[in-house]
């Protein structure tokens, strides 16, 4: 189970790659991306099909990000995460967050194992909205449900 310390370590980065942010302005990934920007984070979009997202220069690959980042948030299909997580060590990434709110999310057992065997901190399947201070009531409610179910990070 993910610890609150691992989540805080990631959120303390303030600058990280955001893989899978959509080109569609109304997509959930864009809402999360905008929230990070509004909170003063430097979320660096990674999408091979875009040159910029929300006015931020977009990179096609993790290794192209300049200056490099130490963390990455994956909001991708599991198969994409499984492939791209293997680029992390070469890009200097030490912290990986694999998004999940409902459904399967971005994590796979292979991707998690790869991160762990390469010394990267990994958060396999949480929604960052639940851990951002002062979030909307429905994100806090999501956290409450997880606490009641015993699946909230400690």
Q: Give residue-wise pLDDT tens across range 61-111.
A: 999 999 999 999 999 999 999 999 999 999 999 999 999 977 779 999 999
Question: b or e along 105-131 (b: 16 or more beta carbons within 10 Å of the residue's beta carbon)?
Answer: bbbbeebbebbeeeebbbbbbbbbbbb
Round to whole Å and give the CA distance between 44 and 6. Answer: 20
Is the domain spanning 4-149 CATH 3.40.50.720? The answer is yes
**pTM for the predicted model, two decimal places:** 0.92
Query: Tens digits of per-residue pLDDT, 31-48?
Result: 999 999 999 999 999 999
């Amino acid at each position: 189970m993910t610890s609150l310390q691992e989540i805080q370590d990631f959120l303390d980065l303030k600058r990280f790659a955001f893989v899978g942010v959509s080109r569609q302005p109304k997509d959930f990934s864009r809402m999360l991306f905008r929230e990070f920007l509004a909170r003063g984070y430097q979320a660096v979009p990674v999408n091979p099909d875009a040159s910029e997202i929300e006015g931020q220069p977009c990179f096609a690959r993790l290794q192209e990000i300049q200056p490099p980042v130490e963390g990455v948030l994956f909001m991708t299909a599991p198969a994409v995460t499984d492939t791209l997580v293997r680029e992390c060590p070469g890009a200097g990434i030490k912290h990986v967050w694999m998004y999940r709110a409902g459904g399967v999310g971005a994590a796979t057992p292979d991707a998690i194992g790869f991160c762990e065997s390469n010394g990267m901190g990994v958060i396999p399947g949480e929604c960052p909205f639940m851990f951002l201070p002062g979030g909307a009531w429905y994100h806090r409610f999501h956290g409450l449900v997880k606490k009641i179910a015993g699946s909230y990070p400690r």
